[in-house]
Structure formats: C-alpha cells, structure tokens
Amino acid sequence: TAGLIAGLLYVYVPYHILDVYVRGAFAESVALVFFPLVLWCFYETVESPRPVALLGAALSYAGLVFSHNGLLLLFSPFLGIYLVFLVLAKSWQDAGQATSSRGEWWMLMGKSTARNASMPVVALVLGFGLSAVFWLPMAAEFKYVRLDQWLGGYYDYRDDFVYFFQFFSPFWGYGLSRPGPHDELPFQIGAVPLVLSVLSIAAVARLKNQVRRRMVLFFQAALVVITFLMLAASVAFWELLPIVIFAQFPWRLLALVMPCVAFLGGSVMAASDGNGKRPAAVATLALIVLVIFGSYSYLSPQIIEPAEGPVSLTGMMRFMESSDQMTGSVAWTHEVPQWSSFAEHVTIEGEAPDLKVDLGSLPKPRRRLAIDLRDTGTVYHKLWVHAEEEGRIIFDIFYYPGWQAYVLTGPEGKIERQLEVLPHGSLGRVSVWVPVGEYYLLLRFEDTPVRVVSRWLSWLSLLAVFAVLGWQIYWRRKSRG
C-alpha cells in the first residue's frame, strides 16, 4: 500500500504534469523516470548488496546521464549526500551491534564504512563508464561551445527563483517563467503531496523499523533544504557552486521535490501498516482517488496553433528568429548570427540546401575555383574541385574539433593527402585552404581522441555488465544443481 501511494504521488505531483503538459520537456520527463529507480537500486547496494543491485544501480544511473544534463547536475549531489547518509547510518548500526567498547567501535566503524561503501562506489564507477561515451566528450569539449547563450538572458538563474507563496498557490498556467512573482508557470508542490509530507512528521514516531525511520528523516530534511534552495535567499549557494548554474532555473529543483514527497507520502501508509492494523480497503481507495483527483484538473494540454505555422523546418527557423533563441554557437563564433541566406533558403523552400558552401566567398571569376557537389550526408560532404590557383572554400558549418578535410584520388578513391581545417571569420565557419589542381575533396566529421577513448570505456563497461550478469547466472545454476 505504501509503495502504491508513493508511486501515485510521484506520477501525479504537479511538477511532473507541468513537464509533460505545459513545458513539453521530453528529455526531462524521461530523466524523471530514473530518479526513484536510481535511489532504490543504490539503497539496495548498501542495505542488501548483491550483483543484481550493482547492475541496477549502474544501468539506472547511466540512463539518467543519457537523459538530461540539467537534472543530472542537480540530482548527482543529492545522490552523493544520500549515499553518504546510507553508508554512515548502516555502518553506525553494524558497529553498534558488534561491540560496546568505544575503542573497538571506531575501528569497526571504519571497516564497516569501507565495506558498505564499496558496492555503491563500484556501481557509480560502472555507471560513469557506461555513459562515458556521452559525458566524457561533454566534459572535455564544453569549452568549445559558447556558454553565455545558455546562462544569460532568459536562462539567467537570478531571474528564476521561486517566491515562497508559489509553493502553495493552486495557480496553473501555460506561459513562461518571468522575473518577479508574476510567473506564467505554476511552481506548486501540490496540496495532497504537501499535506502527506507534513503528516509524515507524526508518522516517524509510529515506525518501528529503524531503517524506515531514518529514511523518512532524511527525506524530510532533504525536502526542507531543496525548498530553501529554490528561494532567492539561497543565491549565495548558487554563486558558491558555479557548476549548478548550468541547471539554469532554480525552480527545476522541483524535480528533486518529487521523490521526497512521494517517499514521505508513502511513509504515512507504512506507519499505519506498522501498527499491525492494515488500513481499510475503503480508506486506501479514498486516498488513491484523492491523489489522482488532486491533480486531475491539470491533466490537459493547452492546444494552440503555432504563430510560425505548422511544425516544419520553416516554422522552426521562424520561431528561432522571433523568440531570440538563436542558440547553438561555438566558441569561435564571435558574432551570433540573427539570420542568413541559409536560413532564408530553409524558410522559403522548407528544406535545407544540399550544398553547404558559401558561394559568395569563392574568388571571381568562378572558373579560378570551381566546385560541384557529388555526395553529402549529415557528417560529410564530397566535392569535385577545379582550382587554377590556391584558394579558400568556406562551408556554412560552424567549426568544431573533429572536422577533417582530405584530397581523394577519385570519386570513391583513397585519401591522398590531408588539408588543414580552420575556423573563419566572426561566425567561426569551417574553412579549407585548397591546392591547385582537379580532384575530389572530402570534408568529414570524425571522432577526436577523447571521443575514441570514451567509446572504448563505454564498450568495456558494457562488457563488464555482461560479465557480472553471466557470473550471476552461472552461480545460480551451480547453487541449484
């Protein structure tokens, strides 16, 4: 019963509905799937360590890493504190049961802490290894992206703190988060989750299980701290740890409120179960209905026709132009473009041009440097080149480490020589200085060394997962037979 109520609270908490029906934040909604799974699996690595718990913790954390950067940044410190709490509480209990001598207690406490921390640490390492193909290049190469486009303007965290009354306001809107108390987005915790969380204070004393009791105390404290961190009074903390500003919106911490209120709501039912008197079926059903109907009125999206027209490349370009969200610039882009002939082509034709070369940059007359597109794809472009003198070809592609250019021996020939690729101009576009002659030029986006290493780390970690799984299957069959 407690698990059922906790699950319903997690699904129907207002912020979860906000992500789905208002913000349409698909990636964030996927990340929310992993929060309870990660917490549960890591709990098992401490309280009941076994290979299945190890794999569950590693795989669920890797899934979170792949889902959403912002929530990963917010959840990981929370997970770290959670694990420290679990390990120390378990070690304290183990040492206390083993001896009453103070001198021996400290020694046993140290040994127990090392033992209890070993499996969650291995799970974290394995989780990071599985997801290395994603986070390692991100960590090594984020300096090549203009960060101001994600941290300033609309994304300035200083403008998005929550006012205390908004946690309790039943307001529901479909607009944007704005500076001041007049946001068009709802930031409520939810009436039912909030009431059940308050009732969990009384439930603590009724819980006989010490593990459950300390978990309730942890999530109560976490709820208070997380709520405080969404208020403007916590701005010093945000300035103290600059990395958290990449989460962009302090109100995004409502995602961490979700597992807290879900667990606390479930603990109220667990306390009732702990007295030996299981709650009546009618009362349980009434609470289920209350949880669902407490958020039922929010379960409807606002359907409006986009001002930019139907969903298409054309509509996307018009939206980016009108909403001042021309993001995606690299560190070599000193002047963020507001429009271009490329964007104009997309707007008019409804599709991107195949030839991504700035023809206006080619020397005149054109016969001195003639090109013809022979093949193209997402990460490569093959051109026929006739150059009577050396010249530069500028591509309408932002420069980024990994772009390589080659002279080929023929249309499908081998690489004859490599050409230098450099950023050009204030836009930081890809440019290739081409030699005299007639040949085929291949521009291709390739892996950098850090991407190669990260891919191998992920493959090796996946191999480790299968090895642990195979060993577990073998051990079970051997023990049965």
Tell me what pLDDT residue 98 has.
65
474 in any annotated domain: no
CA dist 229 and 177 (Å) reads 17
67 with 111, same domain: the answer is yes
Tokens 């191998």, located at residue: 456
Q: What is the CATH number of the domain that holds 376?
A: 2.60.40
CA dist 71 and 78 (Å) reads 11
Q: Which residues, in sequence order, are CB contacts of 458 under 8 Å at separation 6+? A: 129, 130, 131, 132, 133
Q: Which whole-number Å values give the CA distances from 252 to 161, 167, 258, 429, in the listed order?
A: 10, 13, 11, 34
pLDDT per residue over 95-147, tens digit each?
A: 766 666 666 767 787 888 889 999 999 999 999 999 999 999 999 998 898 88
456 in any annotated domain: no
In this prediction, residues 84-92 reach a mean pLDDT of 91
Q: Is 431:393 a contact under the CB 8 Å cutoff?
A: yes
Using 50, 70 and 90 to split pLDDT, how confident is the model at 276? very low
pLDDT per residue over 412-464, tens digit each?
A: 888 999 999 999 988 899 999 999 999 999 999 999 999 999 999 999 999 99
In this prediction, residues 287-303 reach a mean pLDDT of 88
Q: Which residues, in sequence order, are CB contacts of 134 under 8 Å at separation 6+? A: 65, 66, 454
Paired tokens of 257: 């409120």
318 with 388, same domain: the answer is no
Tokens 């609470």, located at residue: 287
Tell me what pLDDT residue 220 has.
95
Tell me what pLDDT residue 184 has.
87
23 with 124, same domain: the answer is yes
129 in any annotated domain: yes
Q: Which residues, in sequence order, are CB contacts of 85 under 8 Å at separation 6+? A: 214, 218
Percent of the chain residues past pLDDT 70, beyond the cut: 91
CA dist 117 and 85 (Å) reads 11
82 with 214, same domain: the answer is yes
Query: What is the reported pTM?
Result: 0.88
326 in any annotated domain: yes
Residue type, 258: M
Using 50, 70 and 90 to split pLDDT, how confident is the model at 334? confident
367 with 387, same domain: the answer is yes
239 with 318, same domain: the answer is no
Residue type, 69: N
Q: Is 194:168 a contact under the CB 8 Å cutoff?
A: yes
Tell me what pLDDT residue 278 has.
55
CA dist 266 and 286 (Å) reads 15
Q: Is 251:158 a contact under the CB 8 Å cutoff?
A: no
412 in any annotated domain: yes
The more confident residue out of 320 and 406 is 406
225 with 285, same domain: the answer is yes
243 with 382, same domain: the answer is no
364 in any annotated domain: yes
CA dist 89 and 293 (Å) reads 37
Tell me what pLDDT residue 108 has.
82
Q: Is 419:407 a contact under the CB 8 Å cutoff?
A: yes
Cα 104 to chain centroid, rounded: 44
Paired tokens of 231: 């208020």
Per the structure, the count of domains in the chain is 3
224 with 171, same domain: the answer is yes
Domain that holds residue 37: 2-296
Q: Which whole-number Å values give the CA distances from 79 to 89, 439, 476, in the listed order?
A: 15, 56, 31
The more confident residue out of 320 and 55 is 55
306 in any annotated domain: no
In this prediction, residues 162-189 reach a mean pLDDT of 89
Lowest mean pLDDT across 38-42, 123-127, 381-385? 381-385
pLDDT per residue over 417-430, tens digit each?
A: 999 999 998 889 99
Counting every residue written for the chain, the total comes to: 481
48 with 156, same domain: the answer is yes
200 with 89, same domain: the answer is yes
419 with 330, same domain: the answer is no
454 in any annotated domain: no
Tokens 């709520």, located at residue: 227
Three-state DSSP class for 309?
coil
Tell me the average pLDDT of the chain: 87
pLDDT per residue over 1-39, tens digit each?
A: 888 999 999 999 999 999 999 888 899 999 999 999 999
Tell me what pLDDT residue 106 has.
73
